[in-house]
């Protein structure tokens, strides 16, 4: 059971780190859909975004999208990642409290 507690603990820590990575990616503001077409020697092409950026967005968006519908942005600040980290922390403590030692 100790191993199960450790796995659950680290899954929640990974979720929190992914939310923090999402915040940092939003500060850098990579284009979530790849870049606009570029012209190179008469050909236009798209540069896709990095697969790790895709992974971070795919994992965190289902957690953040429902919160964005409830919590409005404060000017140019989006506080939904902070709320999501708090919710993940509370759920982590509840799940770990329910698991036997």
Is pTM beyond 0.75? Reply is: yes
From residue 21, alpha-carbon distances to 6, 14, 38, 84 in Å are 22, 10, 28, 13
* pLDDT tens column, 25-82: 888 866 655 555 555 555 555 556 778 888 898 999 999 999 999 998 888 888 999 9
Predicted local confidence at residue 97, as pLDDT: 93
* pLDDT tens column, 9-27: 999 999 999 999 999 988 8
> Which has the higher per-residue pLDDT, 100 or 4?
4
Predicted local confidence at residue 50, as pLDDT: 76
**Mean of pLDDT values over 94-101:** 90
The residue extents of the domains of the chain are: 2-98
CA distance 20 to 38: 31
3-state secondary structure of 70: helix
């Amino acid at each position: 059971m100790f191993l199960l507690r450790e796995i659950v603990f680290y899954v929640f820590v990974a979720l929190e780190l992914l939310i923090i990575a999402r915040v940092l990616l939003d500060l850098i503001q990579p284009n979530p859909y790849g870049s606009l077409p570029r012209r190179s020697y008469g050909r236009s092409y798209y540069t896709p975004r990095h697969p790790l950026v895709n992974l971070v967005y795919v994992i965190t968006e289902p957690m953040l999208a429902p919160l964005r519908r409830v919590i409005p942005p404060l000017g140019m600040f989006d506080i939904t990642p902070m709320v999501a980290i708090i919710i993940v922390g509370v759920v982590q403590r509840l799940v770990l409290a329910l698991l036997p030692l």
